[in-house]
A and B are shown apart, each in its own frame.
Chain A
Amino acid sequence: MIVRISGEGQYELADDDRDRLNELERAVVAIVESGEQAGFDASYQALLDFVRDAGAKVGDDELEGSDVILPPADTTFAEAGREFTGEGLIPE
């Protein structure tokens, strides 16, 4: 599974990592939907850190499309609020 962090690059994750990714992603969506900013940065960074740590960087000269595209690391709570809705980022 290839995950792109927008503005940063692509990472290849094992299919086994999908559950953990979903879990982290749901936590972010829950915070955004609650409308309470507290905890947003930490939970979003946790999601990105998981991708960076668990994933292997995809080479710049590889021509793979991503399965999941995550917003940039400097996404603000307000930006996320405008764009995150419903079921979230990662297809079940």
Chain B
Amino acid sequence: MAGLGGRMSTVVKAKVSKLLDRAEDPAETLDYSYQKQVEQLQNVKKGIADVVTAKKRLQMQESTLQQSVVKLDTQARQALAAGQEDLARAALERKNVAQTELQSLDTQVNELEAQQQKLTDSEQKLRAKIEAFRTKKEVIKAQYSAAEAQVRISEAATGVGEQMADVGLAMQRAVDKTENMRARADAVQELEAAGTFDDITQLGSGEDDIDRQLKQLSSQPAVDDELAKMKGELGQGEAAPAPQIAAGEAAKPDEGGAA
């Protein structure tokens, strides 16, 4: 049995036998096992709380990004109304990036939600098994001789031990997923920091890294389409071009394009 099932079974069995090797006296083994099980259950609860925290963090980022999207859209409109198409394009490019990021955040929030649900189900099963074990251990203690009890304990502990190992593996999967998301969450935070333009009139000047990256996307049809649509809404179609004012000049008339 060399497949994945075999490997998992081995892990599970190792955990179970570790649980059982502790004490020679069956009664002691039982009480010790039970105590360990209850401790494990507490750990599972803590793990679920961590997943919930990670999910909330992503949701908060989502709502910040949503605000950015709205703000950038407004800024694009304002820029276009003022005849500054470059500014409008830059704002729409940022909006586009924010929206893409928003979609992937959404996927991740859903994934964490699913993990949370699975862990919660697993925790309930584990709790039920631990409760069954608690009942059974009293029966074993009362009814069986030491030798027999040892066998019965093994049987009972296998069931609960396997469930415990299984919830342990599920926890590990959830943790791995959360780790993967952390890097992305940091990237989103950077985007937020660059975010919307605090003062739209400043945009025409210096180029930052984000601007350069955005320029690479500037040919994206999505941005062009949106710009065209926005122009239409503002009554600035091809037939009626807005007065062409260079962004830098409009933003900083005192510099007069000297740069």
Contacts and interface: CB of A to CB of B under 8 A. Distances in A.
10 contacts: A6-B8, A7-B170, A59-B128, A63-B133, A63-B156, A65-B155, A66-B9, A66-B162, A71-B5, A72-B170
Indicate the size class of the contact surface on chain A. 20 to 34
Interface in A53-69: 59-66, 68-69
Contacts of A61: 128-129, 131-132
A7 B166 contact: yes
Interface stretch (A12-20, A35-43, A77-85): A77-85
Contacts of B155: 63, 65
Interface string B151-166: 0000111111110001
B42 interface: no
Given A4-B166, A64-B159, A69 B5 contact: yes
B2 A87 contact: yes
Rank and list the top 7 A-B pairs by shortest CB-CB distance, nearest first.
A63-B159, A89-B5, A65-B158, A60-B128, A86-B2, A61-B132, A83-B4
A80 B8 CA distance: 12
B6 A89 contact: yes
B173 interface: yes
Contacts of A9: 125
B79 interface: no
Interface residues of B, number: 33
Contact of A6 (B16, B128, B160, B169): B169
B1 interface: yes
B126 to A, nearest CB: 9
A64 B128 CA distance: 13
Interface in B138-180: 155-162, 166, 169-170, 173
Given A65-B158, A80-B4, 19 more contacts: A6-B166, A7-B122, A9-B125, A29-B3, A61-B131, A63-B132, A63-B133, A64-B158, A68-B9, A70-B5, A71-B4, A72-B169, A72-B173, A83-B7, A84-B3, A85-B3, A86-B3, A87-B1, A87-B2
B12 interface: yes
Contacts, number: 87
Given A6-B170, A7-B118, A69-B8, A62 B159 contact: yes
A28 to B, nearest CB: 9
Contacts of A64: 158-159
Contacts of B3: 25, 29, 83-90
Nearest to B7: A83
Contacts of A66: 9, 162
Given A66-B162, A69-B12, A60 B125 contact: yes
Contacts of B118: 7
A63 B12 contact: no
B130 to A, nearest CB: 10
Counting chain A CB atoms within 10 Å of each CB, the highest count among B4, B122, B162 belongs to: B4
Contact of B159 (A65, A70, A72, A88): A65
Contact of A60 (B8, B9, B129, B170): B129
Given A60-B125, A91-B1, A65 B162 contact: yes
Contacts of A80: 4
